[in-house]
Amino acid sequence: MTATIDRLADPLAPERLDPLIGAALAEDVGDSDLTTEGIVPPEMTCRGKIVCKQDGVIAGLPVTRRVFQLVDERLQFDAKTQDGQKVQEDQIVARLFGPARSMLRAERVALNFLQHLSGIATLTSKYVKAVEGTKTQILDTRKTTPGLRALEKYATRTGGAVNHRMGLYDQILVKDSHLALANGVSPALRAVRKAHPEAMVNVEVSNLQELEQALNDKAPRILLDNFAPGQVREAMQIIRGRAKVEISGGVLLTNARAYALAGADFISVGALTHSATALDYSMKVTRY
């Protein structure tokens, strides 16, 4: 299990990254770039610069670099900042030099990765800022784009969040569906502990009755699902430090701090990956 987790947690490793980039290039370029090959001579070289068009947090520069490398090893990529740094409108984040045809062929795919991952990092940083000064950690979720989970979770880490489970294989989270099929909190916890006696167990509860059952069964971590901040405060009075507490559902930038101040150890936010708006970038080129 550990080897699998380590492999997925390193999304920039070539064996993980290159197939994704290859699929994206095949989708965009196909057999050829008809327009560029009709206009730009094969021998032409050019300079390029990638410019951020709005303020945010950058993520995905190594991916961007790799796109250009895979399209043409002759393309030179000079990053002017690094992942996790704040960027401003009109800031140049990278400069390029090399064959013009290749640079244009790689452009859209490179920028698509950069804008998507930077958007996630930017939104994540806002949630992290919202709970600053409290004990609460912001977590991501499994609500990711199919095939891009490792990269998207890399982007949330870049924005300051902590990764929740990478998949179904690396942590135990007893959810409402499990409770329904197992006929309640206690039977579900007994079953999962029998199957995995050494594992840390997190159980999701949707009301105070389920919370009491989870505490009676000594669940070490409890997820309060769709509790309002006031309900969280009430739940914390019942829990009294007997379990770590995670909040999920209904968390927005406008109320994240209220949840943190209510006493949550963790807040998991699906929106970090499923609703982040891309950070806008453009590439400008000049003949050389």
Instruction: Please say whether the beta carbons of 98 and 74 come within 8 A.
Output: yes
State the catalytic residue, choosing from 83, 140, 225, 246: 225
Is 225 labeled as catalytic in the residue annotation?
yes
State the catalytic residue, choosing from 53, 126, 142, 143: 143
State the catalytic residue, choosing from 108, 126, 129, 233: 108
Name the nearest CA neighbour of 172 among 157, 194, 152: 194
Is 204 labeled as catalytic in the residue annotation?
yes
What's the CA gap between 162 and 246, in Å, rounded?
13
User: Looking at residue 227, what DSSP letter applies?
Assistant: -
Report which secondary-structure segment, H or E, holds 279: none
Name the nearest CA neighbour of 78 among 88, 92, 89, 91: 92
- φ/ψ of 94, rounded to 5, equals -165, 150
Going by C-beta distance under 8 Å and a sequence separation of 6 or more, which residues neighbour residue 287?
A: 44, 46, 100
**The dihedral formed by the CA atoms of 6, 149, 200 and 159, expressed in degrees to the nearest 10:** 90
What's the CA gap between 186 and 25, in Å, rounded?
50
According to DSSP, the β-strands at 266-268 and 137-139 are parallel
Strand, coil or helix: what is 60?
Answer: coil
Is 175 labeled as catalytic in the residue annotation?
yes
State the catalytic residue, choosing from 107, 204, 210, 246: 204
Convert 130-185 into a string of H (helix), E (strand) and C (coil): HCCCCCCEEECCCCCCCCCHHHHHHHHHHCCCECCCCCCCCCEEECHHHHHHHCCH
What's the CA gap between 199 and 214, in Å, rounded?
16
Going by C-beta distance under 8 Å and a sequence separation of 6 or more, which residues neighbour residue 252?
A: none
State the catalytic residue, choosing from 175, 193, 233, 244: 175
Name the nearest CA neighbour of 117 among 57, 176, 196: 57
The residues that are catalytic are 108, 143, 175, 204, 225
